[in-house]
Amino acid sequence: MFTALKGRTKKKLVAVYANDAHTISAVARAVEMELVEGILVGDREIILQLCKHEHIDPSVFEIVHEPEEVKAASRSVQMINEGKGDLIMKGLVSTDKYMRALLNKENGLLPPGSILSHVSVIEPANYGKLLIVGDVAIIPLPEIKEKVAIANYLIQTARALGIDKPKLAVLAATEQVLPKMPACVDASILAKMGERGQFKNAFVDGPMGLDVAIDRESAEIKKIDSPVAGDADCILFPNIESGNAFYKYHTKLAGGELGAVVAGAKVPAILSSRGDSTQTKLYSIALAALLA
């Protein structure tokens, strides 16, 4: 991602309530690497104190003083709407207040009819390439319309990462098409849409178990003949529980690195956890800048 951003016009990042060291350090590193220009919205005194503690020169940022959390979120969204920023990032602000500002019907960042979805790019320890997955954080039980939107976001993200014809696996517990399992039915519909070219320049197949999606030997044993099987670039989860468990397994047990954004808003929105590392936030900034 860092290589892909080199030489591009730098996007302006607005960090919402940037009153924490991880956010400031990540934005400073992104500015230093010439990935973005950084705008920090929050309490100026706290930001300056944190910059001093982290040995960061505050002059590399534009600092917008707004010490109240909700007002900082509103001010940041307003700046995006005024064309002063190209991507937005959650800092110390709570997720509900951040999302409320994004979804505000009068002056938020959600276009009419748009569907918000969380897209994660994970670098698994033992897979050999990146995996683009969703949804792990926003849509609890996506219906077919939402799955179409998620699929398109995953494919768009894969293309932004330089994958010309992404391979998307629609996950289920089995490769059989079982009418009593909604995940299998939806996966079959999406696969047929893929065959008919409704997902431009991408391979889409399912239903597929995780083993078949990412392991060639499993695909061969189960006699699944598909360009996606064993070589998926993207995985679409049937529900938030499966996606969230996959995401947290990689971060907490498998040592995988990742970046994540919310797609579907006017600009890419970074929704990292307040407890995420500086490195995770840096990867998320790079991913958002690629998508902006």
- The three-class DSSP label of residue 98 is helix
Mean pLDDT of all residues belonging to the chain: 95
Residue 224: pLDDT above 70?
Answer: yes
Q: Which has the minimum average pLDDT: 14-18, 78-82, 154-158, 270-274?
A: 270-274
Give me the DSSP letters along 14-42. EEET--SHHHHHHHHHHHHTTSEEEEEEE
- In which band, very low, low, confident or very high, does the pLDDT at 275 lie, cut at 50, 70 and 90? low
Consecutive H or E run containing 12: strand 11-16
Mean pLDDT value of segment 252-274: 89
Higher-pLDDT residue of 275, 139: 139
What residues contact residue 145 under an 8 Å CB cut-off, 6+ apart?
A: 115
Can the peptide bond before residue 135 be classed as cis, meaning omega within 30 degrees of 0? yes
* Chain segment 107-124, per-residue pLDDT in tens: 999 999 999 999 999 999
What is the reported pLDDT for 209? 97
Cα four-point dihedral sign 7, 11, 15, 18: positive
Structure tokens at 178: 């079982």
Summarised one tens digit per residue, pLDDT across range 180-215 is 999 999 999 999 999 999 999 999 999 999 999 999
Task: Tell me which of 3.90.1170.50, 3.40.309.10, 3.40.50.300, 3.40.50.10950 is the CATH number of domain 2-112+266-291.
Answer: 3.40.50.10950
d(CA 169, CA 198): 15
- pLDDT tens-digit series, residues 148-187: 999 999 999 999 999 999 999 999 999 999 999 999 999 9
User: Residue 274: its pLDDT value, please?
Assistant: 63
How many percent of the chain have pLDDT more than 70? 99
Cα–Cα distance measured from residue 203 to residue 210, given in angstroms and rounded to the nearest whole number? 16
DSSP state of 125: T
Q: For 191, phi and psi rounded to 5 degrees?
A: -65, -40
Q: What pLDDT is attached to residue 1?
A: 87
Q: Give the pLDDT mean for 124-152.
A: 95
Residue range(s) occupied by CATH 3.40.718.10 in the chain: 117-252
Global confidence as pTM: 0.92
Query: What superfamily in CATH does domain 117-252 come from?
Result: Isopropylmalate Dehydrogenase (3.40.718.10)
Contact indicator for 169, 132 with CB cutoff of 8 Å: no
CA 39 – CA 206 distance, rounded (Å): 42
Residue 230's pLDDT band, with cuts at 50, 70 and 90, is very high
> What per-residue confidence (pLDDT) applies to 252?
84
pLDDT digits (tens, 9 = 90+) for 45-98: 999 999 999 999 999 999 999 999 999 999 999 999 999 999 999 999 998 999
Q: In which residue ranges of the chain is CATH 3.40.50.10950 found?
A: 2-112+266-291
Q: How many whole angstroms separate alpha carbon 287 and alpha carbon 61?
A: 20
The SS3 of residue 151 is helix
